[in-house]
Amino acid sequence: MDRTVRVLGVPMDLGADRRGVDMGPSAIRYGGLADQFEKLGMSCIDSGDLAVPRPEERDPDADEPSGGRAKFRRETREVCEDVRTAVRGTIDDGEFPLVLGGDHSIAIGTVAGAADPDESLGIVWFDAHGDFNTPQTTPSGNIHGMSLAGILGKGSFGDEPWAHTPAVSEENVVLVGLRDVDDEERELINESDVTAYTMSDIDARSVPTVVDEAIDIATDGTDAIHVSLDLDWLDPTEAPGVGTPVRGGVSYREAHIAMEYVAERRDQLRSMEMVEVNPILDDHNRTAELACELAGSAFGKVVL
């Protein structure tokens, strides 16, 4: 990749119940992100962090959707609109946006900014969770569990232009590594045209096979792809510093293999984000350092 990488931090924790994920961008930077790009001989510019309201200063239920619940909906919309503008501006400048979260609700803004209305965008979503709840199905009201449903216009999100990105078709969206899905969320996924690979699929068929297929699906007939990496995709023994850890995730080496497959298609990669790093729950910044290493693999770092 000959594009300059522009790092955009979004210290967002409005989409989740557990505090601390707002420090994720700083933890990843401290973990050596710039060093990874320097070793690759790539130009990297850090634009700092976007402004995010403090939850203590806002009412989470002030802007509820009709017939459902989405906490901090107004604030999430405002932040995602800022993310969209920053990502779109980065792409228009010929640079590559690498967005650091923050909770996974920021993906709504990243994808909106990456998507050109006149083109089609595929998505590969590495996550333990489906993020496919809607305000009508969510058991928690946390928007980080609704981000992919929002992008695809599910439920009441279909009437919210800030969330729904029509340039993304369900047929080009792939979930990789699912192992914790709510009952109604499961129904929505099964009724949709997205492709979903569970950890059982990975166990049976291997990470290389699944990720290669996932990228094939995301790139089939699309102009570019977006990669969304939630660090809780990895097993908590490898990535303890995440807000919603789930046992049984991928290993350290499997995660690197997956990102190496992403690197093989990086000419088709338009944007990427890494989310849900929570340094409060981490062990000596292990998870943030791992995020940096995985970014290196995604951008072409190899052993030989």
- Tokens representing 220? 């089939």
Distance CA 80, CA 293 (A): 26
Tell me, yes or no, if 116 is annotated catalytic.
no
Instruction: Give me the catalytic one of 144, 164, 226, 256.
Output: 144
Instruction: Give me the catalytic one of 22, 82, 104, 235.
Output: 104
Distances (CA, A) of 36 to 42, 169, 184: 9, 33, 40
Tell me, yes or no, if 13 is annotated catalytic.
no
Instruction: Give me the catalytic one of 75, 127, 254, 273.
Output: 127
Short-list 79, 64, 87, CA closest to 136: 64
Tell me, yes or no, if 131 is annotated catalytic.
yes
Tell me, yes or no, if 144 is annotated catalytic.
yes
Instruction: Give me the catalytic one of 75, 230, 235, 238.
Output: 230
- Tokens representing 46? 């850090």
Tell me, yes or no, if 129 is annotated catalytic.
yes
Tell me, yes or no, if 230 is annotated catalytic.
yes
* E strand spans, the chain: 5-10, 44-49, 96-101, 121-126, 173-178, 195-198, 224-230, 269-275
Provide the phi-psi class of 10: left if phi over 0, else alpha when psi is between -120 and 50, else beta: beta
Instruction: Give me the catalytic one of 13, 131, 235, 254.
Output: 131
Tell me, yes or no, if 284 is annotated catalytic.
no
Instruction: Give me the catalytic one of 75, 185, 232, 235.
Output: 232
Q: Is residue 226 within 8 Å of 172, Cβ to Cβ? A: no
Tell me, yes or no, if 103 is annotated catalytic.
no
Residues annotated as catalytic are 104, 127, 129, 131, 144, 230, 232, 276
